[in-house]
Amino acid sequence: MQRLFSTFARGWPGAGLFAQRLVTAALLFYSAIAHTSQTAYLPFTVLQMFAAGAGLLLLLGLWTPLAGIIVAVSELSIVISHRADPWICVLLATFGATLAMIGPGAWSIDARLFGRKEVRI
């Protein structure tokens, strides 16, 4: 994991990444609840549930690159397969892709698991 992120952003950049993860997860949960209650189309519902599950991982900051890619692919698949307003899905796909590229920040489980540790002798 350290090959993907040289350091985990701290301070204001870390707070900004935490806010982006929080907003992305909230929008994914809202989108899943709103759209699955409106439609019974199974493939669309499965894509929404994958995106919401990845949103939970993003909220926790666990496996952030993988969760961001899942969000981006799921939301772009929804845009292609569903005829509703695509802009929220495009926004969520962009958020997922940027989180996959930038990383979770210091306020995440990834930072605790894979961050640099101080070795005391």
* Banded pLDDT at 82 (limits 50, 70, 90): confident
pTM: 0.83
Q: How far apart are CA 11 and CA 107, in angstroms?
A: 10
At 5 the pLDDT is: 47
Express each pLDDT in 31-62 by its tens digit: 888 887 776 678 888 888 999 999 999 999 99
Mean pLDDT of 84-91: 86
